[in-house]
């Protein structure tokens, strides 16, 4: 079974600064999918970024980028030029290529990002 670990319950960052959220996972599979979701107080889970394990290039979406280290099973999220609107809970998630597990996103415990003016 796969497990996803987010070891930072909370991270604080000043506006315009950079913050990095860590995520590690445990798997024996070689082809899988990783996601970062953002959940603001509205409860809506919003996709931030996704990464296919077979791709070596790190995914980027505007101010958000990941550092995907497949051998180390690490998938960190970097938020650059932080904005007040980035304040939210961030979840790392793993999706298996196993047909018996296709439906299941496995989530980490989440990291609360606090942005200070």
Q: What is the DSSP string of 53-115?
A: TT--SPPEETTEEEEEETTTTEEEEEE-S--GGG-EEEEEEEE---GGGTT-EEE---EEEEE
Q: For another protein, which is the closer residue by CB, 19 or 92? A: 92
Ramachandran bin of 94, using left for φ above 0, alpha for ψ from -120 to 50, beta for the remaining angles? beta
C-alpha dist (Å) from residue 66 to 42, 51, 84, 92 = 25, 8, 20, 11
Q: Which of residues 51-110 bind another protein (CB under 8 A)?
A: 52, 91, 95, 97, 100, 102-110
Residue 99 beta carbon to another protein: minimum distance, rounded to whole angstroms? 8
The nearest distance, CB 4 to another protein, in angstroms, is 10
Choices 8-16, 22-30, 40-48, 60-68 (CB under 8 A): range interacting with another protein: 40-48
Residue number with CB closer to another protein (6 or 82): 6
Tell me the site size for another protein, rule CB under 8 A. 24
Contact positions vs another protein (CB under 8 A): 33, 35, 37, 42-47, 50, 52, 91, 95, 97, 100, 102-110
């Amino acid at each position: 079974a796969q497990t996803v670990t987010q070891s930072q319950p909370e991270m604080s960052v000043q506006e315009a600064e950079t913050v990095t959220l860590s995520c590690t996972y445990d798997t024996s599979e070689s082809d899988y999918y990783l996601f970062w979701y953002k959940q603001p107080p509205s409860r809506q889970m919003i996709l931030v970024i996704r990464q296919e394990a077979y791709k070596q290039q790190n995914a980027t979406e505007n101010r958000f980028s990941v550092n995907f280290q497949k051998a180390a099973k690490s998938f960190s999220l970097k938020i650059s030029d932080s904005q007040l609107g980035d304040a939210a809970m961030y979840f790392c998630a793993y999706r298996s290529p196993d047909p018996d597990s296709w439906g299941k996103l496995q989530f980490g415990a989440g990291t609360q990002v606090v942005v200070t003016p």
